[in-house]
Amino acid sequence: MSPLWTSAEIEDATGGTAGGTFDVTGVTFDSREVGPGDLFVAMPGTAFDGHDFVAKAFAAGAAGALVSRPVDGPHVLVADVPAALEALGRAARSRTAATVIGVTGSVGKTSTKEALFAALDRCAPGKVHRSVKSYNNHTGVPLSLARMPRDSEFAVLEMGMNHAGEIAALTRMVRPHVALITAIAPAHIENLGSEEAIADAKAEIFEGLEADGVAIIPHGTPHRDRLIRAAQGHADRIVTFGRGDADVHAVHAVTEGSGSLITAELLDRALTFNISQRGEHWVSNALGVLAAVEAVGADVALAGLALADMGGLKGRGARHTIPIEGGELLLIDESYNANPASMAATLKSLGQEPGVVRRIAVLGPMRELGAHEAALHAGLAEPVRAAKVDHLILIGEEMAPLAEAAGGAIAVDRVPDVDGATDRLLGIAQPGDAVLVKASNSVGLAKLVDRVVKGAPCFT
């Protein structure tokens, strides 16, 4: 197997000086993730400096290190480690013959990226590269590029942002052949000020499109025409997806078991397929995925089979059946992130859950909403009522507006933190309950999920 990088190639890409000859099979900047053969990138940081962990990385099997000061062991010495990582990412993009798909959006980008990976991997097994986790920022994107194997046929790379201009820089590094926006919602509105500004920031992804590039745009957003105008100066072709008269649209979609059965009209054919997740947002994600698969000329029928087999992702819809005295309950893990659109979508899905005795929503605050915070939290009351939620467990003072707006028809518990929410859930859970867990990632609701899933005997 050919190496991912040789020390000479790293030296050439970064302009650094090699201290020793070595080959690497992987790249990481997290010393906890280092495996045999990896290149450890010693990133500086506000709390920790990666150079302090170089010895630990070598002990874990790292084949070399990318550093800005001399270290014991094989390395490439550069003036600026973050700039060198970016240069390595650009070199990876320059040498690849892969068809590259870039994904962004206010909601659903990681789930869509994973679904695209699953779909394309069914078409080209073992030849598809993707961003891992949510590595979608100014360090995560070059890392994901640097990890791309030489022989990749497809690459799916996620791009995120907090401020205007960030995606413009990332997309020029990624240079996608296809650029997909999943949805526009008031995430990061504290920094950007309006949904229109959010749409403009997401539309920066089109600025990096390669010649003959394709822009894929959600049809249902009120900002569709704004996104289309932004794409027109960069894309050779624009494809919309969604309901109604979108280019790629659902003829019908019906709930079936724990997922949906969809008949879609694509550009060149119709396709009936299943997805293993519930909710209108997943119907939209699936249509965007198929639009991208069709755009790159891959097999949409195989992609449909992959979507049927794809389970929920940790923190993004994973479903856990938890044994409890007298039966079991369903825990829906949406703990990774939250904004008003994703909250409404997952609450709607909870409301459609069949065979449920009670619906419980454990909700924490949505962050980066700025002056809109109170109104947007209060605005969740309507989706909560529409979903027929029986019991709310709300975490933190930011959720007070929702507690007030929900009124007396719904049982509401206010708790200060995740531990309090976990204790309260353990105290009220009954057989037949469906429990939705959702908040911004910084709230840490994943701890509740881990405690409930791993400690199921505490119910009995």
* Binding-site annotation: residue ranges for ATP: 105-111
Token representation of residue 34:
């280092």
Phi, psi of 187 (to 5 degrees): -85, 140
Q: Which helix (H) or strand (E) holds 333?
A: strand 327-334
Dihedral of CA 21/25/30/36: which sign? Answer: negative
**Exposure string for 63-83, b = 16+ CB within 10 A, e = fewer:** bbbbbbeebebbbbbbeebbe
Could you tell me which residues are annotated as the binding site?
105-111
- CA-CA-CA-CA dihedral for 221, 223, 225, 229, to nearest 10: -130
Phi, psi of 331 (to 5 degrees): -110, 120
10 Å CB burial of residue 197 (0-12, 13-18, 19+) is middle
* Beta-carbon contacts of residue 327 (< 8 Å; ≥ 6 apart): 431, 432
Q: Which amino acid is at 440?
A: S
Rounded Cα distance between 53 and 199, Å, is 40
C-alpha triplet 378, 380, 383: angle, nearest 5° = 145
Token representation of residue 167:
């995606």
